Amino acid sequence: MNALIHPSRGLDSVETGIAAHLDEFIALRRDLHQYPELAFQERRTSKLVAAHLSSWGYEVATEIAGTGIVATLARGNGKRRVAVRADMDALPIEEATGLSYASKNPGVMHACGHDGHTTILLAAARYLAESGNFSGTLRLIFQPAEEIGAGARKMLAEGLFERFPVDAVFGLHNWPGVPAGHFGFVADAAMASVDQAVIRIVGKGGHGAEPHRGVDPVLASASFITALQSVVSRNVDPQDMAVVTVGSIHAGSASNVIPESVELKLTMRAFSQAVRDQLQQRVPALARAQAESFGARADVDYRLGFPALVNHRDETAFAREVALATFEPERIEKDFRPRTASEDFAFMLQQKPGSYLFVGNGESAPLHSTRYDFDDTIIAPAARYWVRLAETFLTDDNG
């Protein structure tokens, strides 16, 4: 793809246009924050998003994957079609920020900033509808249920890109720890695959004073957990990334009883399918062999989650060029590294070329923390970025 980028930089009409309504969008973001909704329950959010988009002249398709929305705006004779996606769901977390606009839904919190992603795309949507300088078809995807890794899959299963064809799709995530309003781009694998295993190590319970009459599953699991460390250090190529974490272990309830079984829950992450396959082979094999060596048994339920998010090179180069043409060069992070978190936008990138990028969220607590705080100062630059990306992609002379 040959990106033809407008040479202007600094204060421009997009910047002033977005600034004109910024207060309303900050208020909207805080409203969404107060009423967070869990995966596939984003009814209030979805209604609000659809109402705004309709009022700005978009053709709005609702109830895709339940609460999902695709808004379309075609202009001029341009043949190209670009999609930008935002996610809308919150997490089952009790907010502890103490903010005046903290969650009013007990036990539910926008702790990943999807309220911000939705607002950013709406701010861009309004500008593009009212003043956007483009020729082609713009599609805005508001996706449910990212946090449980199901929303993108469901939208695709319901024919997202057959009903709403596009040439490329883009998305973004805010990132705490990166200066607010800075941009990060990663070609190729940008976020990890995520798989889970629930492993039950079954022994033979008995009296804690007579271990020789039983088979102790606690000892077998301790040995398994230790052996598990060799998967990353001895099986996976040292040049590749892999994570194996035991995040949960449960057994027994008394000091003097050898329990019947132990249940472990693991998460596995990788950037490549080859490593992902290797983990899927090695983790169960070790569980079974380790258990057996103690006379116990391992029942392994290995649950494939979603693949690594792999950005397409040309579209990533394009996305980066747009940022360089829009902002001061120091706001484009140098050598931004892939993240070991996961993102179900990966499924969209398996069907369409595109890129997932990162916008710094400053010194907030981490994503999924009870104290996470979306930085409203990133709404304007990120919305401005989406406008510039859409306008640059959708030009008559751009192939």
Shortest separation between residue 367's beta carbon and Zn ion, angstroms? 6
Nearer to Zn ion, 131 or 369 (CB): 369
Shortest separation between residue 114's beta carbon and Zn ion, angstroms? 6
Position of minimal CB gap to Zn ion: 112
Shortest separation between residue 394's beta carbon and Zn ion, angstroms? 27
| Sequence-separated contacts (24+) of 364-369 with Cβ below 8 Å | 364/176, 365/176, 366/176, 366/177, 367/111, 367/112, 367/113, 367/175, 367/176, 367/341, 368/91, 368/93, 368/111, 368/112, 369/111
Shortest separation between residue 112's beta carbon and Zn ion, angstroms? 3
CB 122 within 8 A of CB 60: no
Determine the Cα–Cα distance for residues 98 and 75; give it in Å rounded to an integer.
44
Nearer to Zn ion, 67 or 290 (CB): 67
Residues at the contact surface with Zn ion, assessed by CB under 5 A: 112
Query: Beta strand pairing status for 188-191 and 206-207?
Result: unpaired
Determine the Cα–Cα distance for residues 54 and 125; give it in Å rounded to an integer.
11
CB 306 within 8 A of CB 192: no
- DSSP assignment string, 223-249: HHHHHHHHIIIIIS-TTS-EEEEEEEE
Name which of 128, 146, 135 is nearest 45 in CA terms.
146
Nearer to Zn ion, 35 or 56 (CB): 35
- The dihedrals phi and psi of 357, each to the nearest 5 degrees, come to -120, 170
Nearer to Zn ion, 89 or 216 (CB): 89
Nearer to Zn ion, 18 or 112 (CB): 112
Determine the Cα–Cα distance for residues 201 and 198; give it in Å rounded to an integer.
10
Shortest separation between residue 90's beta carbon and Zn ion, angstroms? 9
Nearer to Zn ion, 112 or 383 (CB): 112
Shortest separation between residue 146's beta carbon and Zn ion, angstroms? 6
Shortest separation between residue 206's beta carbon and Zn ion, angstroms? 43
Nearer to Zn ion, 39 or 112 (CB): 112
